[in-house]
Protein backbone atom coordinates (compact mmCIF):
# COMPACT_ATOMS: atom_id res chain seq x y z
CA UNK A 1 0.00 0.00 0.00
CA UNK A 2 1.68 3.21 -1.16
CA UNK A 3 -0.66 5.56 0.72
CA UNK A 4 -1.35 6.12 4.43
CA UNK A 5 -3.56 3.60 6.24
CA UNK A 6 -7.14 4.89 6.30
CA UNK A 7 -9.10 4.03 9.45
CA UNK A 8 -12.61 4.94 10.59
CA UNK A 9 -13.25 4.78 14.35
CA UNK A 10 -16.73 4.70 15.86
CA UNK A 11 -17.55 5.70 19.42
CA UNK A 12 -20.53 7.12 21.28
CA UNK A 13 -18.22 9.52 23.16
CA UNK A 14 -15.37 11.81 22.15
CA UNK A 15 -14.35 15.15 23.73
CA UNK A 16 -16.08 17.39 24.68
CA UNK A 17 -18.60 14.55 25.22
CA UNK A 18 -17.02 12.63 28.13
CA UNK A 19 -18.98 9.85 29.83
CA UNK A 20 -16.25 7.39 30.81
CA UNK A 21 -12.76 6.29 29.81
CA UNK A 22 -13.44 5.73 26.09
CA UNK A 23 -13.44 9.47 25.36
CA UNK A 24 -9.86 10.26 26.52
CA UNK A 25 -8.67 6.91 25.08
CA UNK A 26 -10.02 7.84 21.61
CA UNK A 27 -8.65 11.38 21.84
CA UNK A 28 -5.04 10.45 22.61
CA UNK A 29 -4.93 7.26 20.52
CA UNK A 30 -6.30 8.95 17.38
CA UNK A 31 -3.88 11.91 17.66
CA UNK A 32 -0.92 9.56 18.20
CA UNK A 33 -1.99 7.37 15.25
CA UNK A 34 -2.14 10.50 13.07
CA UNK A 35 1.44 11.33 14.17
CA UNK A 36 2.43 7.78 13.20
CA UNK A 37 1.18 8.05 9.62
CA UNK A 38 -2.39 6.74 9.95
CA UNK A 39 -5.29 8.76 8.53
CA UNK A 40 -8.02 8.61 11.21
CA UNK A 41 -11.71 9.51 10.74
CA UNK A 42 -13.78 9.50 13.94
CA UNK A 43 -17.57 9.25 13.81
CA UNK A 44 -19.20 10.03 17.14
CA UNK A 45 -22.30 11.57 18.74
CA UNK A 46 -23.02 15.30 18.68
CA UNK A 47 -22.59 17.52 21.71
CA UNK A 48 -24.04 21.01 22.38
CA UNK A 49 -21.63 23.66 21.11
CA UNK A 50 -19.23 21.18 19.43
CA UNK A 51 -18.84 21.48 15.63
CA UNK A 52 -20.35 18.82 13.33
CA UNK A 53 -16.96 18.46 11.63
CA UNK A 54 -13.49 19.53 12.75
CA UNK A 55 -9.86 18.49 12.36
CA UNK A 56 -7.88 17.96 15.58
CA UNK A 57 -4.12 17.48 15.03
CA UNK A 58 -4.77 15.71 11.73
CA UNK A 59 -7.73 13.65 12.99
CA UNK A 60 -11.04 14.16 11.12
CA UNK A 61 -13.90 14.25 13.65
CA UNK A 62 -17.54 13.95 12.50
CA UNK A 63 -20.32 14.43 15.07
CA UNK A 64 -23.65 12.98 14.00
CA UNK A 65 -27.12 13.85 15.28
CA UNK A 66 -28.02 11.43 18.06
CA UNK A 67 -31.00 13.21 19.65
CA UNK A 68 -33.35 13.71 16.69
CA UNK A 69 -35.37 10.56 17.42
CA UNK A 70 -37.33 10.55 20.68
CA UNK A 71 -36.63 7.36 22.65
CA UNK A 72 -38.60 5.81 25.51
CA UNK A 73 -35.45 4.29 27.05
CA UNK A 74 -31.67 4.03 26.73
CA UNK A 75 -31.68 0.77 24.73
CA UNK A 76 -33.99 2.28 22.09
CA UNK A 77 -31.86 5.43 21.95
CA UNK A 78 -28.72 3.32 21.31
CA UNK A 79 -30.50 1.40 18.53
CA UNK A 80 -31.74 4.57 16.77
CA UNK A 81 -28.40 6.35 17.26
CA UNK A 82 -26.65 3.38 15.56
CA UNK A 83 -28.99 3.50 12.55
CA UNK A 84 -28.21 7.18 12.09
CA UNK A 85 -24.48 6.66 12.73
CA UNK A 86 -24.28 3.92 10.07
CA UNK A 87 -26.16 6.05 7.51
CA UNK A 88 -24.00 9.17 8.17
CA UNK A 89 -20.72 7.20 8.28
CA UNK A 90 -21.55 5.43 5.00
CA UNK A 91 -22.14 8.76 3.30
CA UNK A 92 -18.81 10.09 4.68
CA UNK A 93 -16.93 6.97 3.45
CA UNK A 94 -18.53 7.24 0.00
CA UNK A 95 -17.18 10.80 -0.41
CA UNK A 96 -13.59 10.12 0.76
CA UNK A 97 -10.85 10.32 -1.89
CA UNK A 98 -9.26 7.08 -0.55
CA UNK A 99 -11.15 3.95 0.61
CA UNK A 100 -11.34 3.05 4.30
CA UNK A 101 -9.06 0.07 5.07
CA UNK A 102 -10.36 -0.80 8.54
CA UNK A 103 -13.39 0.05 10.68
CA UNK A 104 -12.60 0.22 14.41
CA UNK A 105 -15.52 0.16 16.87
CA UNK A 106 -15.21 0.99 20.56
CA UNK A 107 -17.58 -1.03 22.78
CA UNK A 108 -21.13 -2.35 22.25
CA UNK A 109 -22.74 1.08 21.97
CA UNK A 110 -21.65 1.33 18.30
CA UNK A 111 -21.92 -2.41 17.46
CA UNK A 112 -24.80 -2.20 14.97
CA UNK A 113 -23.20 0.69 13.04
CA UNK A 114 -19.77 -0.99 12.99
CA UNK A 115 -21.09 -4.36 11.82
CA UNK A 116 -23.32 -2.69 9.21
CA UNK A 117 -20.42 -0.70 7.74
CA UNK A 118 -18.23 -3.83 7.65
CA UNK A 119 -20.79 -5.59 5.42
CA UNK A 120 -21.71 -2.57 3.28
CA UNK A 121 -18.07 -1.87 2.35
CA UNK A 122 -16.69 -5.43 2.82
CA UNK A 123 -13.78 -4.21 4.94
CA UNK A 124 -12.44 -5.73 8.18
CA UNK A 125 -13.87 -4.61 11.52
CA UNK A 126 -11.78 -4.36 14.68
CA UNK A 127 -13.24 -3.77 18.11
CA UNK A 128 -11.72 -2.53 21.35
CA UNK A 129 -13.62 -4.01 24.29
CA UNK A 130 -13.13 -1.50 27.09
CA UNK A 131 -15.41 -3.42 29.46
CA UNK A 132 -18.15 -6.09 29.48
CA UNK A 133 -21.68 -6.09 30.84
CA UNK A 134 -21.18 -9.43 32.63
CA UNK A 135 -18.13 -7.95 34.40
CA UNK A 136 -19.73 -4.60 35.25
CA UNK A 137 -22.85 -6.23 36.71
CA UNK A 138 -21.17 -9.33 38.18
CA UNK A 139 -23.49 -11.54 36.12
CA UNK A 140 -26.55 -10.92 33.92
CA UNK A 141 -29.74 -10.19 35.88
CA UNK A 142 -32.14 -8.16 33.69
CA UNK A 143 -33.33 -8.36 30.10
CA UNK A 144 -31.41 -5.14 29.28
CA UNK A 145 -28.18 -6.63 30.68
CA UNK A 146 -28.74 -9.80 28.63
CA UNK A 147 -29.41 -7.72 25.51
CA UNK A 148 -26.14 -5.78 26.01
CA UNK A 149 -24.22 -9.04 26.57
CA UNK A 150 -25.66 -10.56 23.37
CA UNK A 151 -24.75 -7.37 21.45
CA UNK A 152 -21.17 -7.62 22.77
CA UNK A 153 -21.02 -11.30 21.78
CA UNK A 154 -22.25 -10.45 18.26
CA UNK A 155 -19.71 -7.62 17.94
CA UNK A 156 -16.75 -9.79 19.01
CA UNK A 157 -17.95 -12.55 16.64
CA UNK A 158 -18.09 -10.15 13.68
CA UNK A 159 -14.73 -8.50 14.48
CA UNK A 160 -11.53 -9.62 12.76
CA UNK A 161 -9.58 -8.83 15.92
CA UNK A 162 -10.63 -7.93 19.45
CA UNK A 163 -8.28 -5.50 21.23
CA UNK A 164 -8.22 -5.51 25.05
CA UNK A 165 -6.26 -3.11 27.25
CA UNK A 166 -4.92 -5.62 29.80
CA UNK A 167 -3.97 -9.32 30.00
CA UNK A 168 -6.75 -9.70 32.56
CA UNK A 169 -9.26 -8.32 30.05
CA UNK A 170 -8.00 -10.65 27.30
CA UNK A 171 -8.77 -13.66 29.52
CA UNK A 172 -12.08 -12.19 30.68
CA UNK A 173 -13.32 -11.46 27.13
CA UNK A 174 -12.14 -14.89 25.92
CA UNK A 175 -14.17 -16.51 28.72
CA UNK A 176 -17.25 -14.26 28.39
CA UNK A 177 -17.71 -14.80 24.64
CA UNK A 178 -15.91 -18.12 24.01
CA UNK A 179 -13.37 -16.54 21.65
CA UNK A 180 -10.26 -18.25 20.22
CA UNK A 181 -6.92 -16.93 21.55
CA UNK A 182 -5.66 -15.84 18.12
CA UNK A 183 -8.56 -13.40 17.76
CA UNK A 184 -7.49 -11.42 20.84
CA UNK A 185 -4.67 -8.91 21.12
CA UNK A 186 -3.51 -6.89 24.14
CA UNK A 187 -2.67 -3.22 23.60
CA UNK A 188 -2.49 -1.26 26.87
CA UNK A 189 -4.25 2.01 27.55
CA UNK A 190 -2.05 5.08 27.83
CA UNK A 191 -1.69 8.39 29.54
CA UNK A 192 -0.13 11.71 28.59
CA UNK A 193 2.18 12.80 31.46
CA UNK A 194 2.89 16.13 29.73
CA UNK A 195 -0.55 17.48 30.68
CA UNK A 196 0.77 17.84 34.25
CA UNK A 197 3.86 19.83 33.17
CA UNK A 198 3.99 23.37 34.44
CA UNK A 199 1.39 22.88 37.17
CA UNK A 200 4.17 23.18 39.79
CA UNK A 201 4.60 26.81 38.70
CA UNK A 202 0.98 27.63 39.58
CA UNK A 203 0.01 28.44 43.14
CA UNK A 204 -0.94 24.91 44.14
CA UNK A 205 -0.83 25.74 47.87
CA UNK A 206 -3.65 28.28 47.47
CA UNK A 207 -5.60 25.82 45.30
CA UNK A 208 -5.07 23.06 47.89
CA UNK A 209 -6.50 25.26 50.66
CA UNK A 210 -9.90 25.22 48.91
CA UNK A 211 -10.15 21.54 49.85
CA UNK A 212 -8.06 20.92 52.96
CA UNK A 213 -6.28 22.61 55.85
CA UNK A 214 -2.48 22.71 55.57
CA UNK A 215 -2.15 20.00 58.27
CA UNK A 216 -4.65 17.65 56.54
CA UNK A 217 -3.52 15.06 54.00
CA UNK A 218 -5.65 14.82 50.84
CA UNK A 219 -7.02 11.39 49.92
CA UNK A 220 -8.45 11.64 46.38
CA UNK A 221 -11.01 9.43 44.63
CA UNK A 222 -11.83 10.07 40.97
CA UNK A 223 -14.50 7.96 39.28
CA UNK A 224 -18.18 7.22 38.93
CA UNK A 225 -20.10 6.71 42.18
CA UNK A 226 -21.30 3.22 41.23
CA UNK A 227 -21.05 -0.15 42.93
CA UNK A 228 -18.38 -1.74 40.66
CA UNK A 229 -15.99 1.16 41.36
CA UNK A 230 -15.88 0.19 45.07
CA UNK A 231 -16.44 3.74 46.33
CA UNK A 232 -18.49 2.37 49.29
CA UNK A 233 -15.37 0.42 50.40
CA UNK A 234 -13.43 3.70 50.55
CA UNK A 235 -16.21 5.52 52.44
CA UNK A 236 -16.32 2.72 55.02
CA UNK A 237 -12.52 2.96 55.40
CA UNK A 238 -12.64 6.69 56.28
CA UNK A 239 -12.93 6.28 60.11
CA UNK A 240 -10.14 3.65 60.14
CA UNK A 241 -7.78 6.02 58.29
CA UNK A 242 -8.71 8.98 60.52
CA UNK A 243 -7.76 6.99 63.64
CA UNK A 244 -4.13 7.23 62.46
CA UNK A 245 -3.88 10.25 60.13
CA UNK A 246 -5.47 13.70 59.90
CA UNK A 247 -6.89 13.58 56.38
CA UNK A 248 -9.53 15.07 54.08
CA UNK A 249 -11.27 12.78 51.59
CA UNK A 250 -12.07 14.45 48.26
CA UNK A 251 -14.55 12.49 46.12
CA UNK A 252 -14.75 13.53 42.45
CA UNK A 253 -17.48 12.10 40.21
CA UNK A 254 -21.21 11.49 39.97
CA UNK A 255 -23.38 8.39 40.03
CA UNK A 256 -26.45 6.70 41.46
CA UNK A 257 -24.78 5.94 44.83
CA UNK A 258 -24.19 9.61 45.70
CA UNK A 259 -27.08 10.06 48.16
CA UNK A 260 -26.53 6.69 49.81
CA UNK A 261 -22.81 7.45 50.36
CA UNK A 262 -23.56 10.92 51.65
CA UNK A 263 -26.00 9.42 54.20
CA UNK A 264 -23.33 6.96 55.39
CA UNK A 265 -20.91 9.87 55.91
CA UNK A 266 -23.59 11.81 57.86
CA UNK A 267 -24.35 8.80 60.06
CA UNK A 268 -20.64 8.63 60.94
CA UNK A 269 -20.64 12.36 61.77
CA UNK A 270 -17.79 12.93 59.28
CA UNK A 271 -19.28 15.46 56.83
CA UNK A 272 -16.39 17.85 57.64
CA UNK A 273 -13.89 15.19 56.51
CA UNK A 274 -15.47 13.97 53.25
CA UNK A 275 -16.13 16.34 50.34
CA UNK A 276 -18.39 15.23 47.48
CA UNK A 277 -17.22 17.49 44.67
CA UNK A 278 -19.36 16.04 41.84
CA UNK A 279 -18.07 16.74 38.33
CA UNK A 280 -14.81 18.71 38.26
CA UNK A 281 -13.50 20.34 35.06
CA UNK A 282 -10.23 19.10 33.58
CA UNK A 283 -8.04 22.01 34.69
CA UNK A 284 -9.04 21.66 38.35
CA UNK A 285 -8.90 17.85 38.19
CA UNK A 286 -5.27 17.95 37.02
CA UNK A 287 -4.40 20.27 39.92
CA UNK A 288 -6.22 18.02 42.40
CA UNK A 289 -4.32 14.96 41.15
CA UNK A 290 -1.10 16.94 41.55
CA UNK A 291 -1.99 18.07 45.12
CA UNK A 292 -3.26 14.72 46.40
CA UNK A 293 -1.15 12.92 49.01
CA UNK A 294 -2.65 9.64 47.84
CA UNK A 295 -5.07 8.62 45.06
CA UNK A 296 -7.32 5.62 45.73
CA UNK A 297 -8.83 3.26 43.13
CA UNK A 298 -10.89 0.73 45.14
CA UNK A 299 -12.68 -0.96 42.18
CA UNK A 300 -14.36 -4.36 42.45
CA UNK A 301 -14.25 -4.80 38.63
CA UNK A 302 -11.70 -2.86 36.57
CA UNK A 303 -10.80 -3.81 32.98
CA UNK A 304 -7.86 -1.38 32.99
CA UNK A 305 -7.79 1.47 35.51
CA UNK A 306 -6.91 4.67 33.65
CA UNK A 307 -7.41 6.76 36.83
CA UNK A 308 -4.48 4.94 38.44
CA UNK A 309 -2.29 5.73 35.41
CA UNK A 310 -3.27 9.40 35.55
CA UNK A 311 -2.35 9.59 39.24
CA UNK A 312 1.01 7.94 38.52
CA UNK A 313 1.62 10.44 35.69
CA UNK A 314 0.80 13.28 38.13
CA UNK A 315 3.35 11.77 40.56
CA UNK A 316 0.62 11.13 43.09
CA UNK A 317 1.05 7.83 45.00
CA UNK A 318 -1.69 5.23 44.40
CA UNK A 319 -3.54 2.61 46.42
CA UNK A 320 -5.49 0.21 44.20
CA UNK A 321 -7.57 -2.94 44.56
CA UNK A 322 -5.63 -6.03 43.59
CA UNK A 323 -8.04 -6.83 40.77
CA UNK A 324 -8.35 -6.75 36.96
CA UNK A 325 -6.11 -4.40 35.02
CA UNK A 326 -5.08 -2.56 38.21
CA UNK A 327 -3.08 -5.64 39.28
CA UNK A 328 -0.96 -5.30 36.12
CA UNK A 329 -0.43 -1.53 36.33
CA UNK A 330 0.78 -1.43 39.95
CA UNK A 331 3.74 -3.40 41.33
CA UNK A 332 3.03 -3.80 45.05
CA UNK A 333 5.17 -1.51 47.24
CA UNK A 334 7.25 -0.52 44.20
CA UNK A 335 4.97 1.66 42.02
CA UNK A 336 2.02 1.79 44.45
CA UNK A 337 0.18 -0.26 47.07
CA UNK A 338 -2.26 -3.07 46.30
CA UNK A 339 -5.07 -3.74 48.77
CA UNK A 340 -7.31 -6.80 48.86
CA UNK A 341 -10.38 -6.19 46.71
CA UNK A 342 -13.66 -5.51 48.58
CA UNK A 343 -11.78 -5.23 51.90
CA UNK A 344 -12.15 -2.07 54.00
CA UNK A 345 -9.36 -2.96 56.47
CA UNK A 346 -6.86 -3.69 53.71
CA UNK A 347 -7.70 -0.44 51.89
CA UNK A 348 -7.34 1.60 55.11
CA UNK A 349 -3.98 -0.13 55.75
CA UNK A 350 -2.72 0.81 52.26
CA UNK A 351 -3.77 4.46 52.57
CA UNK A 352 -2.22 4.94 56.03
CA UNK A 353 0.99 3.13 54.97
CA UNK A 354 1.54 5.73 52.24
CA UNK A 355 0.46 8.73 54.33
CA UNK A 356 2.68 7.88 57.32
CA UNK A 357 5.92 7.11 55.48
CA UNK A 358 7.37 9.99 53.45
CA UNK A 359 10.37 8.07 52.10
CA UNK A 360 8.15 5.22 50.95
CA UNK A 361 5.74 7.71 49.36
CA UNK A 362 8.52 9.46 47.42
CA UNK A 363 10.09 6.25 46.19
CA UNK A 364 6.83 4.79 44.80
CA UNK A 365 6.00 8.12 43.14
CA UNK A 366 9.30 8.17 41.24
CA UNK A 367 9.13 4.47 40.30
CA UNK A 368 5.55 4.86 39.08
CA UNK A 369 6.42 7.85 36.91
CA UNK A 370 9.32 5.93 35.35
CA UNK A 371 6.98 3.02 34.54
CA UNK A 372 4.52 5.42 32.85
CA UNK A 373 7.22 6.73 30.51
CA UNK A 374 8.47 3.22 29.69
CA UNK A 375 5.21 1.35 29.15
CA UNK A 376 2.16 3.61 28.84
CA UNK A 377 3.33 6.20 26.32
CA UNK A 378 0.67 6.93 23.65
CA UNK A 379 3.22 6.89 20.81
CA UNK A 380 4.23 3.31 21.64
CA UNK A 381 0.56 2.33 21.96
CA UNK A 382 -0.25 3.93 18.59
CA UNK A 383 2.58 1.93 16.98
CA UNK A 384 1.22 -1.33 18.48
CA UNK A 385 -2.28 -0.43 17.23
CA UNK A 386 -0.95 0.34 13.77
CA UNK A 387 0.84 -3.04 13.66
CA UNK A 388 -2.48 -4.71 14.57
CA UNK A 389 -4.21 -2.87 11.69
CA UNK A 390 -1.45 -3.88 9.26
CA UNK A 391 -1.64 -7.53 10.36
CA UNK A 392 -5.41 -7.58 9.80
CA UNK A 393 -5.14 -5.88 6.39
CA UNK A 394 -2.48 -8.46 5.38
CA UNK A 395 -4.80 -11.33 6.33
CA UNK A 396 -7.79 -9.67 4.71
CA UNK A 397 -5.98 -9.10 1.39
CA UNK A 398 -5.35 -12.88 1.10
CA UNK A 399 -8.97 -13.77 2.00
CA UNK A 400 -11.92 -14.49 -0.32
CA UNK A 401 -13.58 -11.43 1.20
CA UNK A 402 -11.22 -9.03 -0.53
Tens of pLDDT, residues 155-213 = 999 999 999 988 889 999 999 999 999 999 999 988 888 888 877 767 888 999 999 99
Kindly state whether residues 149 and 221 are assigned to the same domain.
no
For the chain, the domain total comes to: 2
- Residues 281-333 have pLDDT tens digits of 888 999 999 999 999 999 998 877 889 999 999 999 999 999 988 998 899 99
Q: Is residue 126 part of a domain?
A: yes
pLDDT of the residue at 301: 84
Highest mean pLDDT among 137-146, 193-202, 262-271: 262-271
Kindly state whether residues 246 and 362 are assigned to the same domain.
yes
137 pLDDT band, cuts 50/70/90, is: confident
pLDDT of the residue at 394: 95
Q: Which of 35-44, 65-74, 111-120, 225-234 has the lowest mean pLDDT?
A: 65-74
Residue 272, Cβ density class (10 Å: 0-12 exposed, 13-18 middle, ≥19 buried) = exposed
pLDDT of the residue at 67: 77
**Of the candidates 82, 136, 146, the residue with the CA atom closest to the CA atom of residue 114:** 82
Q: Is the pLDDT of residue 260 over 70?
A: yes
Q: Give the DSSP H or E segment for 54.
A: strand 53-56
Please name every residue paired with 64 in a beta bridge, in sequence order, or none if there are none: 45
Kindly state whether residues 203 and 350 are assigned to the same domain.
yes
Q: Is residue 175 part of a domain?
A: yes
Kindly state whether residues 202 and 331 are assigned to the same domain.
yes
3-state secondary structure of 22: helix
Kindly state whether residues 202 and 302 are assigned to the same domain.
yes
pLDDT of the residue at 145: 94
pLDDT of the residue at 1: 66
Q: Is residue 316 part of a domain?
A: yes
Q: Is residue 183 part of a domain?
A: yes
3-state secondary structure of 66: coil
pLDDT, the chain, mean: 93
How far apart (Å, rounded) are the C-alpha atoms in residues 385 and 294?
32
Mean pLDDT across 253-257: 93
Kindly state whether residues 22 and 38 are assigned to the same domain.
yes
pLDDT of the residue at 19: 80
The CATH number of residue 222's host domain is: 3.40.50.2000
114 pLDDT band, cuts 50/70/90, is: very high
* Structural domain boundaries, residue 337: 193-375
Kindly state whether residues 222 and 344 are assigned to the same domain.
yes
Asked whether the whole model's pTM tops 0.85, one would answer: no
3-state secondary structure of 205: helix
Kindly state whether residues 172 and 223 are assigned to the same domain.
no
Kindly state whether residues 234 and 175 are assigned to the same domain.
no
Q: Is residue 73 part of a domain?
A: yes
How far apart (Å, rounded) are the C-alpha atoms in residues 182 and 179?
9
Distances in whole angstroms, Cα of residue 265 to Cα of each of 58, 260, 271, 303: 47, 9, 6, 29
Kindly state whether residues 296 and 265 are assigned to the same domain.
yes
Kindly state whether residues 215 and 179 are assigned to the same domain.
no
Q: Is residue 370 part of a domain?
A: yes
- Residues 324-360 have pLDDT tens digits of 889 988 999 999 999 999 999 999 999 999 999 999 9
Write down the H helix ranges in 178-257: 204-209, 231-242
How far apart (Å, rounded) are the C-alpha atoms in residues 319 and 355?
11
Peptide bond into 145 cis (omega under 30): no
pLDDT of the residue at 120: 96
Q: Is the pLDDT of residue 93 over 90?
A: yes
Mean pLDDT across 133-141: 89
Kindly state whether residues 163 and 210 are assigned to the same domain.
no
Q: Is residue 402 part of a domain?
A: no
How far apart (Å, rounded) are the C-alpha atoms in residues 90 and 193?
36
Q: Give the DSSP H or E segment for 319.
A: strand 318-321
Q: Is residue 128 part of a domain?
A: yes
Amino acid sequence: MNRPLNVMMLSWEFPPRVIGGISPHMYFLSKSLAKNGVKVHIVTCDFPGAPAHEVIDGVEVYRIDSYKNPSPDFATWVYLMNLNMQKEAASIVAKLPEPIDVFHAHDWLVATAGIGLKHVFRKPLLVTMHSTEIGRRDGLHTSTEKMIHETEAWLTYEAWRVICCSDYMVQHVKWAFGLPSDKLVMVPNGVNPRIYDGLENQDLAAFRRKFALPEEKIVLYVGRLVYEKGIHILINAVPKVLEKVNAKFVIVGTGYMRDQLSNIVKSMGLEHKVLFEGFVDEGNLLKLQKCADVCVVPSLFEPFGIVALEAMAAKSPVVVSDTGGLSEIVDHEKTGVKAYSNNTDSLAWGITKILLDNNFRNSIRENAYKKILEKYDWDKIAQQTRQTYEGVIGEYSKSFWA
